[in-house]
Amino acid sequence: MPKIRVLSDILASQVAAGEVVERPASVVKELVENSIDAGAGEIRVDTDRGGAALIRVSDDGCGMSREDALLSLERHATSKLRTSADLGEIRTLGFRGEAVPSIASVSRFRMVTREAGVDVGTEISVDGGTVRDVRDAGCAPGTVIEAKALFFNMPARKKFMRAESTESAHIEHQVRLHALAAPQVRFRLRRDDREVFDLPPADSAIGRVRQIVGTDLARELITVPETRGNGVSVTGLLLPTVHARKGRRHQFVFLNGRPVEDSVISRALVEGFRGGLADGMQPAAWLWIDLEPSLVDVNVHPAKREVRFRRPLDVRDVILEAVADALRPPAATVANVANVAATAAVVEPAAEVKPLPMSQPVREAAPAVRPWAAVARAVQPLLPVSAPERTVPEEMEETRLENPAPARFRVLALLHQRYILLESADGLVVFDPKAAHERILYEGLLRRHAQGISVQGLLVPVLIELDPRDLDAVLKEREALAEIGIEVAAFGGNTLQISGLPASIPVDQPVVFMRELLDDLLHDGVPGKRFAFERLAKLLARKAAQPVKASLREAGPLLDELFLCELPYCAADGRPTLSEFSLQDLARRFSGGRELR
């Protein structure tokens, strides 16, 4: 068995770096946290080549003496803890004393720092954990730390770094996160000598959000009133449910000024919407939570991303109350809604509106609820289901003959404005128009793929603000999106421009359509296959079919078109378009298994 040895300081720091320095954005996080703790009023971050070549964080904070600067390079050297009791009362962002030596051990490191009121500063150069030079330096008060050639001495770790654009996107996200956490600080980010943003100090956390989200979204923000209870204080902002997304990238939670991720908080946010969100959807939110440091343990994760509450139910209850209050309409509005609902219950609806052609989403007014006798009178005459009069493409002629439509269906009624009930020779058929539209659109995309899908240019291009990491992922897949007829480009900042959509896909609200589509592509897919053509086709067909309403008038033509498909009995995702309940099935259910007479 090998002998047990104590690790050298450099190797110990490199081991610690494996936990603390996951990627260039981790370096930015640790250094920016130190700058905030130092009382900086302005923080500037410069990067080259996604942080692999250079990361520089400059601040105008308190700075350090030569003695403190050298001590900061020692492992577990910190100004923020004195006794074990302090660990339960942490009020600073950093406290472990591992970040600076860990970064210095895996880079060509340089620190320049000066305290206010001191004539000369200190410059220290470190190469892979070894101090090379310590000298006097003329510099402004504050601290500048450079980390060049990240992981130059750890090639195995360097191989795991992503593309420069991806690493840059993570860095931008990290700086924006700290800008939200510390609104009183000016934040500047430059990438490859180009300014990405310059956020001046904001008068409040809410003011910072408005700086970041832009004018359009700022108009929709819902203020979460300050709510206190059980030693917990919560305030923040929400966006309406239309902006809910899969995943939690659009949720920003700050606990005592520290960006955190916590399932208790996310669940409380969802519960606060009281059923207003679809399953699996997460609301867009910015929350600032303050509580006594003794009520939370921030020392449970090397990168300090996760926390552990001592009384999680107290935190949950306050968030629930705050979110519910923010979403609760004024009392007068509630009364008005009740009056309108009561009036609508006794007013007959307008005559049925003729639906739009198949190429567009079908919108119909909901008919009045009728008694059973009225339903019986509403039974429609026989509608023959035959091949449409339009010309059938040659490549589909054989399919049409192999999958002939049933000779006749009798259209009976609408079920909950969602399904169409049909009578067949064998029994009852439940028809799902959404699933049928989805199958038709999906096979249309597959047929057009070989020849090239036609693009419908948008009269007004759609602009969508994305998380920088999501924007990077979408722009990398421009060719895959263009293959299916979606034309995208960078518009500046974190804005994506969509200038064209597939001509065969009916879209009446391009902004909503594309937001939901990108949300599914980015957060509900298998890595590596998220932008595969078949998956894109399925998602496009499903999204385009969502607005479709069941219509008795459209039943015949829709069935005609459905039975021209190669697989008419199921939607793109495999769910059925038609479900039949035979007379024998019904007999067994209603007559205890006796034969139907």
| Residue-wise DSSP of 301-312 | STTS-B-EESSH
Core vs surface per residue 335-367: b (16+ CB within 10 A) or e:
eeeeeeeeeeeeeeeeeeeebeebeebbebeeb
Average pLDDT over residues 98-105: 88
SS (H, E, C) 426-486: CEEEEECHHHHHHHHHHHHHHHHHCCCCCEEEEEEEEEEECCHHHHHHHHHCHHHHHHCCC
pLDDT band at 303 (very low <50, low <70, confident <90, very high): low
pLDDT band at 574 (very low <50, low <70, confident <90, very high): confident
Average pLDDT over residues 236-246: 90
pLDDT band at 332 (very low <50, low <70, confident <90, very high): very low
Answer yes or no: is pLDDT of 394 > 70.
Answer: no
Neighbours of 235 (CB within 10 A): 20
pLDDT band at 525 (very low <50, low <70, confident <90, very high): low
pLDDT band at 22 (very low <50, low <70, confident <90, very high): confident
Answer yes or no: is pLDDT of 352 > 60.
Answer: no
Residue bearing the bigger pLDDT, 106 or 298: 106
The ranges of the chain annotated as CATH 3.30.1540.20 are 383-443+549-590
Query: Which residue, among 471, 505, 470, has the nearest Cα to 485 in the 3D structure?
Result: 505
CA distance 316 to 264: 7
Contact 240, 277 (CB under 8 A): no
Question: Given this model, what pLDDT does residue 376 score?
Answer: 31
The ranges of the chain annotated as CATH 3.30.565.10 are 9-201
**Contacts of 2 by beta carbon, 8 Å cutoff, 6+ apart:** none
Average pLDDT over residues 140-168: 90
Answer yes or no: is pLDDT of 59 > 90.
Answer: yes
> In the 8-state DSSP scheme, what is residue 220?
T
Dihedral of alpha carbons 522, 525, 526, 532, sign? negative
Contact 592, 436 (CB under 8 A): no
Tell me the whole-structure pTM to 2 decimals.
0.71
| CATH code for the structural domain at 9-201 | 3.30.565.10
Long-range contacts of 277-282 (CB under 8 A, 24+ apart): 277/241, 277/244, 278/244, 280/246, 281/241, 281/244, 281/245, 281/246, 282/244, 282/245, 282/246, 282/247, 282/248, 282/250, 282/251
Answer yes or no: is pLDDT of 253 > 50.
Answer: yes
Answer yes or no: is pLDDT of 452 > 80.
Answer: yes
Average pLDDT over residues 98-111: 91
Token pair of 594 as six digits: 């006796």
The share of the chain scoring above pLDDT 90, in percent, equals: 41
Question: Given this model, what pLDDT does residue 46 score?
Answer: 97
Question: Given this model, what pLDDT does residue 299 score?
Answer: 62
Each residue's pLDDT tens digit, 400-421: 334 344 446 888 899 998 999 9
Question: Given this model, what pLDDT does residue 508 score?
Answer: 83
Question: Given this model, what pLDDT does residue 329 score?
Answer: 77
Answer yes or no: is pLDDT of 123 > 50.
Answer: yes
Residue 334: its H or E element: helix 331-344
> In the 8-state DSSP scheme, what is residue 276?
-
Correct CATH for 383-443+549-590 of 3.40.50.300, 3.40.50.920, 1.20.200.10, 3.30.1540.20: 3.30.1540.20
pLDDT band at 369 (very low <50, low <70, confident <90, very high): very low
Q: What amino acid occupies position 444?
A: G
Question: Given this model, what pLDDT does residue 18 score?
Answer: 59
CA distance 245 to 475: 20
Give the sheet arrangement for strand 578-582, strand by strand.
382-384, 408-415, 419-423, 427-431, 578-582
Average pLDDT over residues 66-79: 82
| CATH code for the structural domain at 207-327 | 3.30.230.10
Per mean pLDDT, which range of 290-294, 431-435, 527-531, 565-569 is the poorest?
A: 527-531
Average pLDDT over residues 410-435: 91
Question: Given this model, what pLDDT does residue 330 score?
Answer: 66
Q: What rounded mean pLDDT belongs to the chain?
A: 81
The ranges of the chain annotated as CATH 3.30.1370.100 are 454-503+509-545
What Å distances lie between residue 304 and 30, 33, 79, 98, CA to CA?
Answer: 10, 11, 18, 12
Question: Given this model, what pLDDT does residue 40 score?
Answer: 95
Average pLDDT over residues 582-595: 77
Answer yes or no: is pLDDT of 499 > 60.
Answer: yes
Residue bearing the bigger pLDDT, 463 or 6: 463
Question: Given this model, what pLDDT does residue 251 score?
Answer: 93
Tokens 């009578």 correspond to 423
Question: Given this model, what pLDDT does residue 39 score?
Answer: 93
Answer yes or no: is pLDDT of 372 > 90.
Answer: no
Question: Given this model, what pLDDT does residue 139 score?
Answer: 94
Average pLDDT over residues 246-260: 88
Per mean pLDDT, which range of 34-48, 138-152, 291-305, 357-371 is the poorest?
A: 357-371
CA distance 472 to 249: 14
Residue bearing the bigger pLDDT, 7 or 548: 548
Question: Given this model, what pLDDT does residue 200 score?
Answer: 96
Answer yes or no: is pLDDT of 89 > 90.
Answer: no
Answer yes or no: is pLDDT of 566 > 80.
Answer: yes
| CATH code for the structural domain at 454-503+509-545 | 3.30.1370.100
pLDDT band at 41 (very low <50, low <70, confident <90, very high): very high
What are the DSSP calls for 131-172, one per residue?
EEEEEEE---SEEEEEEESTTTT-HHHHTT---HHHHHHHHH
pLDDT band at 384 (very low <50, low <70, confident <90, very high): very low
**Contacts of 523 by beta carbon, 8 Å cutoff, 6+ apart:** 245, 246, 247, 249
